[in-house]
Amino acid sequence: MKRRNFIGVLSASGGALVANPVLGTTVGEKMKNRKVATKELSADVVIVGGGLGGCAAAMAACRNGLKVILTEETEWIGGQISQQGVPPDEHSWIETHGAPKSYRNYRDRVRSYYKRNYPLTAAAKNRERLNPGDGMVSRICHEPRVCVAVLTEMLNPYISTGNLQLLSNFKVQSARANGDNVESLKFLDRINGHTIWMSAKYFVDATELGDLLPMTATEYVTGTESRAETRELHAPEKADAKNHQAFTLCFAMDYQPGKDNLIEKPENYSYWKNHIPKMDPPWAGKQLELNYSDPKTTKSKDLGFHPEGLSTGNNLNLWLYRRIINKNNFLPGTYEGDITIVNWPQNDYFGGNLIDVKEKEFNKTIENARELNKSFFYWLQTEVPRPDGGYGWPGLRLRGDVMGTSDGMAKYPYIRESRRIKAEFTILEEHVGAENRKLVAGSKDGAKSAEFFDSVGTGYYHIDLHPSNRGNNYIDFASLPFQIPLGSLLPQRMNNIFPANKNIGTTHITNGCYRLHPVEWSIGEAVGMLISYANKHSIPPRAVREKKELLSSFQNWIKTQGLETHWPK
């Protein structure tokens, strides 16, 4: 097999080479017993994980003159939006502030991509703030492939100059460290089975689960902290390192009126149809029903479903919730029906854990989530109550082409909770939670989140914890527009490895508002800027926070490149 050129590699999308990067058999796995030469690469920065944080870190480092290697274990960069299929979860001020300029640039480019390439109606093309899917969760619900295209477009100038090497289908396997410094990482090229070592001055863990932390012996925590540890109002009495939020294996579907797309009845359908999640407080009924536990009250809440987008009374129509294509935005005949993403209470998977488990258990847990999805989809085709009194919508169709897979499921599970570094500063509920903030700061100061002297970004989302694998029901409550402290991005001991995803210094509770799309981007860009500044001034990155004059200089510098450190008054 001919060796690929490593400069600027981005493998073809569509899932042809890897049927499913999490579970499927790759060519590399078939060749794992073949003796192949180990090659080496080097750069100023190696970033592991091509999600939003990884891409933002790469762009920040490249535009400031550093040589970067960015690896991604699937075919698609984009993380939450692309490989996991989750339209952006954003706050209501996102169009003007509360995220870096580069993130808003990404959003503008998505709109431009549709306007340049799709047969939009005149009304849609003239909408300054076009929302392709008009989904309810975001003002810019769009297709995973468009995310990949736009991010690739943003990275291409750096690939062209040789500042960036983008390596897809590369999975990190192990690390070499010397005391408090990482020296190199070993990767498996999943396409041809080669292994390769990559060395650098700095390393960034932008993986979905904080994969580099155990490999590099970087201290980290998992699961829930106790109230005694963190003083958080919503923390449990006892800590549990294995208690994590549910993950979701999202899938895409559309609707063809009058067609019969009925899939074969799943083998475990009876089990999932009658399954009642064991939760405290109790789950409201069966999982495959049009009701669920209201996140704010955990009481039963009715939902609706109509794949033609029609009214379901006073109940939320799930079809509209994460819709990524509204056919009415496009010229008549372009689409038979809308396209929507299924990331709903019915397919959250509570039955297993993906952190610090063996590969066999990891794969089995995801396969179980896939079986839940198949059963849920079959239930929607055959048994979901219709507003007209009938049951089922057989015209529903799985859209593997939308997800770049053969079965319509996402390439990678949507991860809500990761390993988290033991950081120089840990963000607590008292810093960002509305109720807890009032208790510690008083009614006047409690109206805003804590002011961090070392702020390097801003963000907002309510604290949203999905039910857990250990039986905790929803924990959902108000937060305040917050800052991202530099201290939460610095490991307590390690000098040259930094988090750029959901693995920063939060708790189980505060992870609930720091895990969303624009915040992840902000974290990644701040890390890329930190590395660039430290390298330019020949100082250790942690010195930027330790010395007042350096911190002030750094904060002023990042603002010149579009990062926000404070919310407008």
Give the tens place of pLDDT for each residue, 338-383.
999 999 999 999 999 999 999 999 999 999 999 999 999 999 999 9
Distances (CA, A) of 359 to 51, 196, 211: 21, 21, 13
CA dihedral sign of residues 279, 284, 286, 292: negative
pLDDT attached to residue 347? 98
Enter the tokens of residue 197: 């070592």
Q: What DSSP designation does 201 have?
A: E
- What does the pLDDT look like over 94-106, one tens digit per residue? 999 999 999 999 9
CA 376 to chain centre: 23
Q: How far apart are the first and last CA of the chain?
A: 60
Query: Token pair for residue 62?
Result: 């490249």
Amino acid at 237: E
CA–CA dist 380, 253 (Å, integer): 11
Residue with tokens 């990884």: 54
Whether the Cβ atoms of residue 203 and residue 48 lie closer than 8 Å to each other? yes
Percent of the chain past pLDDT 90, that is, above it, reads: 92
Reported as a single tens digit per residue, the pLDDT across 302-333 is 999 999 999 999 999 999 999 999 999 999 99
Res. 263 pLDDT band, cuts 50 70 90: very high
Average pLDDT over residues 278-293: 95
User: Residue 38's pLDDT band (boundaries 50, 70, 90)?
Assistant: low
**Using one digit for the tens of pLDDT, what is the confidence trace for 108-154?**
999 999 999 999 999 999 999 999 999 999 999 999 999 999 999 99
Q: Could you read off the pLDDT of 199-219 as tens digits, one per residue?
A: 999 999 999 999 999 999 999
**What's the whole-number average pLDDT of the chain?**
93
Contact 457/481 with Cβ under 8 angstroms?
A: no
Distances (CA, A) of 125 to 120, 128, 148, 350, 517: 6, 8, 21, 41, 25
Tell whether the model's pLDDT for residue 553 goes beyond 70.
yes
**What local confidence, expressed as pLDDT, does residue 6 receive?**
30
| Dist CA 47 CA 166 (whole Å) | 10
Range 526-555 average pLDDT: 98
500-511: pLDDT as tens digits = 999 999 999 999
DSSP state of 468: B
pTM: 0.93
Question: What does the domain layout of the chain look like in residue ranges?
Answer: 247-403
**Cα dist from 64 to 109, 194, 234, 512, whole Å:** 22, 31, 41, 32
Q: Is the pLDDT of residue 34 over 70?
A: no
Residue 19 has pLDDT above 80, yes or no: no
> What DSSP state is assigned to residue 453?
T
* Rounded distance between C-alpha atoms, residue 250 and residue 265, angstroms: 19
Q: Which candidate, 317, 293, 289, places its Cα nearest to that of 387?
A: 317
Residue-wise pLDDT tens digits, 443-487: 888 899 999 999 999 999 999 999 999 999 999 999 999 999 999
Q: What is the pLDDT of residue 300?
A: 95
Q: Would you state the pLDDT for residue 3?
A: 34
pLDDT surpasses 90 at 545: yes
Mean pLDDT confidence for 36-46: 83
Instruction: Give percent of the chain above pLDDT 70.
Output: 93
Examine the pLDDT at 167 and tell me if it is beyond 70. Answer: yes
Residue 28 has a pLDDT of 42
Lowest mean pLDDT among 11-20, 481-490, 531-540: 11-20
Do 200 and 43 touch, CB atoms closer than 8 A?
yes
Q: Are 436 and 446 in contact (CB under 8 A)?
A: no
Say whether pLDDT at 29 is over 50: no
Taken as a whole, the chain contains a residue count of 569
